[in-house]
Chain A
């Protein structure tokens, strides 16, 4: 190229500007063409529905966070839709299908474990629980239980002491929603 002079610089700048303009237009037309195809062939999703749903969900969360809202009454002392109340530990009694003894419903699982020979003595159980818990961590699972028995197998006495769902976490803290 010849030595840069004002004319050359201006011409280069104009060329560069033209190339840029062409590239930009090409990109824009690419996008426009794709969107045009999607729109004309009816391939796009219903975006309005999605936005509507998100709006409803945000409103719902605001309302749920309002402490005045009793919708999520956490207590086990509510009256159900049939007008019934139930004790925290299920007290229906039935026959164990393994050993024929009469067992209370809320105690059935720990009984069955020993009855089927799947459980072990309490001390061994505590060790296995922690191993199982470690395995469970690697398996990545969410555990769920009833709030009136803690996880290492010792059960609470059914002396009517109150227990509210969500209170009984293994470290004693209370998780609020």
Chain B
């Protein structure tokens, strides 16, 4: 168990329970199974309910009026709800051993929980690194310092790496995604630490830099190399806008079906270039496809997460689980809860019909939120009777319940809001401009598989081998750093990226970089939102650390 949930569990166990357990022997919680059909009555007043408590120290059952203090037996179990009760504290108390005993006694196989404790490399402490003397000397002699004077930078101390990108003709979709990627912390760090050196890569692949025969066909495109070039250009301190022409050229070579002078979708482009980086790096390294591992290339190391899908048979409860890797999470916009005109009605003089509506909208549910979309994404969904799935246990097609959850959070989460709806009657799509609230800080704990599973089993403290991943740990807490907004219609519009650097917000509109107030960003129409884990954990490496 993670430290904070076990700390809470310890606090929730009163001293009376603790002393009972220490003197109770090996099976303190053994009771007739809760599913036993024998009807019980209170031994004091013969009541059959509504709350009956079975004493853990003697075979007696009492209702809530008579449960206290018989023979100094303090601990009892609410037989309907499976909760421990302490008569001395007069309160419900908790213990993880009881929860695991209960779950095992229900006959539920522990396999769903074992899946959560996936084989993880143990976490290690962060050890700060500094270059050795010789390395420092080499760096200093082989480079020039980028340090614009105060006058040059217009008197403001703007963060590094801010540079406009020229629109090459219908390419704002590309510019907006590039700006977000240029400031994706782990990706930026990777390229700025020279982890993909374009000169070395091109030399290795037999391309002589700058010596083109004229038709460009000799040069096989490497999107990572072109990205490396853009990083160098953008962080160089040069302020005139940069033209990502080579990148466009390489991308069109990779994504032939999207290669045209037309408007494109930023999300499609984003997935396409991650794919391009992956393919090329895999080809170079000759490693076989390792889906779900996430260590194949920098694109996957940064963006790849894992989604868990549970399908539960509604007849027998058998659950089948599958895992799929994902590079982003596409979310449906919540449907409009009520007509906008009623949202502001006062509660006072309307008849009861209006009161109900205003009470509902008063909850704040009128504004769709990112968390609301994530709630919808992870809620159990009943598959219709026309979508029956084959259940292995029942050996026939049954109606089922499907639920998604996040097994592994990527380092950087990209949320894609599906701002379009199809009308099958009119055979067309249209864009949904409805405002979506997105937080600057996001806690993904409620959407993790561990939480969803735990909730499915009555929020029991689960008996997981090893560490419970991510729960209440900082790695579930995310910070927003980039927002790509779309303005316009489905087939004609404009993309703009807002970047958060040093807690200031900058608007990147093709070649124009301006600083904006955070309220502008809050009020913007988010299409792609990029969040990064607040804290990274370091895993022990299999390889011995050597200098490369």
Contact = CB atoms under 8 A, between A and B. Distances in A.
Contact of A153 (B261, B367, B441): B261
B459 to A, nearest CB: 5
A64 interface: yes
A175 interface: yes
A144 B494 contact: yes
Interface residues on B, range: 35 or more
B18 to A, nearest CB: 15
A29 B80 CA distance: 11
A142 B83 contact: no
Contacts, number: 291
Nearest to A44: B446
B249 A112 contact: yes
B523 A90 contact: no
Contact of B491 (A50, A58, A143): A143
Given A30-B81, A41-B8, A113-B261, A90 B494 contact: no
Q: Which of A43, A80, A138, A165 has the most CB of B within 10 A?
A: A80
A171 to B, nearest CB: 8
Interface residues of A, number: 89
A146 B83 CA distance: 62
29 contacts: A25-B51, A26-B50, A26-B51, A33-B78, A33-B92, A34-B459, A41-B12, A41-B461, A49-B439, A50-B369, A51-B364, A60-B520, A61-B523, A72-B516, A82-B154, A90-B243, A97-B212, A99-B214, A108-B248, A109-B171, A116-B252, A133-B491, A140-B429, A142-B420, A144-B266, A145-B494, A155-B169, A166-B487, A170-B491
Given A54-B364, A60-B523, 19 more contacts: A37-B83, A50-B369, A65-B523, A81-B514, A97-B245, A99-B215, A105-B167, A106-B166, A109-B261, A137-B422, A140-B422, A144-B493, A145-B170, A145-B173, A145-B263, A146-B171, A150-B492, A169-B489, A170-B489
Interface of B: 4-5, 8-9, 11-12, 49-51, 78, 80-81, 83, 92, 94, 153-154, 156, 158, 162, 164, 166-173, 176, 212, 214-216, 219, 239-241, 243, 245-246, 248-249, 252, 256, 259-268, 364, 367, 369, 371, 418-420, 422, 428-429, 431, 435, 437, 439-441, 443, 445-446, 454, 458-459, 461, 472, 486-495, 506, 509-523, 525, 527
